Structures are given as C-alpha cells and as structure tokens.
Amino acid sequence: MKALSIKKYGSPDFLQIREIQQPSPRSEQVLIKVHAVSLNDWDWGLLHSSPFVPNRFMAGLFRPKIILGSDIAGVVEKVGSGVSAFKVGDQVYGDLSGCGFGGFAEYVCAPQDSIRLKSAKMTFEQAAAIPQAGMLALQSVMAAGIDKSGLSVLVNGAGGGVGSIAIQLLKLHNNHVTGVDSGEKLAAMRAWGFDHVIDYSVTDFTQNSQRYDLIIDVKTERSPADYERCLKPNGVYATVGGSLLSLLKIALSGLRINRARNKKLKVIGLHANSELEYFNTLFEADQFKPVVDSNFSFKEKDVREAFSRFGAAAHKGKIVVLI
C-alpha cells in the first residue's frame, strides 16, 4: 500500500510517498481503508521534530520512522477477533494520535475504541476535518459551561480548525464572539459568524479595555498576567495550543490565580474522540458543518503543498487530503 513517510526532519520537501506492507489488525483492532485525512499541529510538529520531547521519541530519535496523520475517515475493511463495536463496511472516523498515528496511508489499523461511526450524511472529507479540532473546541467551550448563553467570548487564533468549530458551538447559545487572527482570515471569520474580528498585527487584544467571560486560545503567546487581565470576574481562560513552556506557565499560574482570584486559567488536555457522537447529532440537525479550507490528492507534490499551506498558517478551517 502507499503511505506517507519522512526522509528526514524538516521541510515538507522531505515528505515522500512509498510502498509499504499493508498492516493486519490485531485482536482489538480494525483495518480501515482511509478515504480522507486532515492536517493537525501534531503532523507539523512531528515533521520538524519540534518540540524535541516528546516528538523525537514518538517519531524516531535519530531518523523518522513514523507515518503521520491522526484525523481519519474511512471504511472498515477487516476486524480483529475481539472487535464487537464495528463490522466490515462501517463508515468510521476518529483521532489516532493516541495510538500511533498512521493516517496518511491507504490503510491503517486502529483500536476499536479510537474510532466512532460517522454520520451517513457526512462526506469522508467533512468527517476527517472534525476529530481533533472538534474535541479541542468542544472542551474549550465546556470550560465555561456549554449550555451558558449571553457570554462575551474571545477566540485567539480563530481562523483555523478549532476556531471554525468553536464559533458554531458558541453560537448555538447566542454568545457574543470576537475572533483574533491575521487580516487575510477576517472575512472568512465574519462569514462563519464571528460578531467582531481583530487583526493581531494591528491590535493587541490584551491591551485594550475589553473583558471577556471566556477566552479560547490556540496560540498562547502572551503572559498569564495579560490573559488574566482580559477576563471578567468569574472568567475562564482555556488554552488548547502553544509551546510546552507557555502551557507550563499557564498551568502553574492557573493554580495561583485559582487560589487568589475568582478567575481560572486552564490548559485543556485532549480527550480524543469522546464526544464525536455529539458532532454527528449536530450535523444531522443542520446545526454544525465542518469548514474545509482546501483538499489535496494523495500525491507527493500535492501533499507537500498541503503541508506548506498549513505551515504558512494560510488555511481558513481545515486542510484535508483525499486518499
């Protein structure tokens, strides 16, 4: 079968598609014929082995051995003897980041608890755009209570996958949402439903007078004190991305702030796949639709272009590769 490998760490130019042996499922695994896979920060980080820990230990200490790709959608081709949740022919999707990745390939084996049935109404392209970004968005929204309405919310780094899903969840409860990203993405963000948009190169949202009930941060590039200052009383700051050092600072500062003030700073740990059924329900009720920025074919040149677009942060929503 064809699979995407890394010749050496660094540029997307080091990605190559090569023939490898098709895997066979173990007892508790299913073999999935992959139809679509989306790009995530994990893929970019593993390609560059950054941060060194843990990515070098996951991908290969001296030379990369990993097949990238976590968010997949496809059809069950074969089931292991211990599998009871799925059968051959089931259309499934899920995040494989907790079980070895491997999504950029024609076939992948995955534990049965790492995938879910997708809505029959979803295309494979749409389904692949959901798992990791969807769960991070949902967990961030839940940090302030998913059923709350009328909140003032800011999403930093709002033009990518997490932001494109978070806005839809927040608007289910009529929250007022501000989005921050590059100027090139602001028109798309308005179209998604953001009430107010900010070009980060023009305005620093931490330095104005606005205060928020909830801040969802994909970037985590400022000090904990800056984020705390932007929160209203009882406000919550929830980060889903950033450098390990930045996340550690937020976690430690969060402990102090939680004790001293009525504000919370949280680092959101991914609960992979735990609520994908919820996204099926929303999709079937026409209350949610994943935003696909672009799709690419599973050819070496196209996959390198997809990674380059991701690395340049040019995407508005999710980038998907069709296998």
Domains and CATH numbers, the chain: 2-130+290-322 (3.90.180.10), 133-267 (3.40.50.720)
The answer to whether 34 and 106 have CB atoms below 8 angstroms apart is yes
The conformational region for residue 220 under phi > 0 = left, psi -120 to 50 = alpha, else beta, is left
Supply the pLDDT for residue 289.
98
Supply the pLDDT for residue 245.
78
Supply the pLDDT for residue 49.
87
d(CA 134, CA 268): 13
Supply the pLDDT for residue 52.
53
pLDDT by position in tens, the chain (length 323): 999 999 999 999 999 999 999 999 999 999 999 999 999 999 999 998 876 556 665 666 667 889 999 999 999 999 999 999 999 999 999 999 999 999 999 999 999 999 999 999 999 999 999 999 999 999 999 998 767 789 999 999 999 999 999 999 999 999 999 999 999 999 999 999 999 999 999 999 999 999 999 999 999 999 999 999 999 999 999 999 988 778 888 888 866 665 557 899 999 999 999 999 999 999 999 999 999 999 999 999 999 999 999 999 999 999 999 99
Supply the pLDDT for residue 254.
64
Q: Residue 3 has which token pair? A: 């699979």
Identity of the residue numbered 86: F
Q: How many CA atoms lie within 13 A of 67 on its CB side?
A: 26
Q: Residue 224 has which token pair? A: 């904990």
State which H helix or E strand residue 229 sits in. Answer: helix 224-229
Residues 6+ apart with CB under 8 A from 21: 1
d(CA 176, CA 288): 18
Supply the pLDDT for residue 186.
98
Supply the pLDDT for residue 76.
98
The answer to whether 257 and 263 have CB atoms below 8 angstroms apart is yes
d(CA 77, CA 70): 18
Supply the pLDDT for residue 63.
79
User: Residue by residue, what is the 3-state secondary structure of 167-235?
Assistant: HHHHHCCCCEEEEEECHHHHHHHHHHCCCEEEECCCCCHHHCCCCEEEEEECCCCCCHHHHHHCEEEEE
The answer to whether 17 and 3 have CB atoms below 8 angstroms apart is yes
Strands 264-267 and 231-239: parallel
Q: Residue 145 has which token pair? A: 């209570």
Identity of the residue numbered 165: I
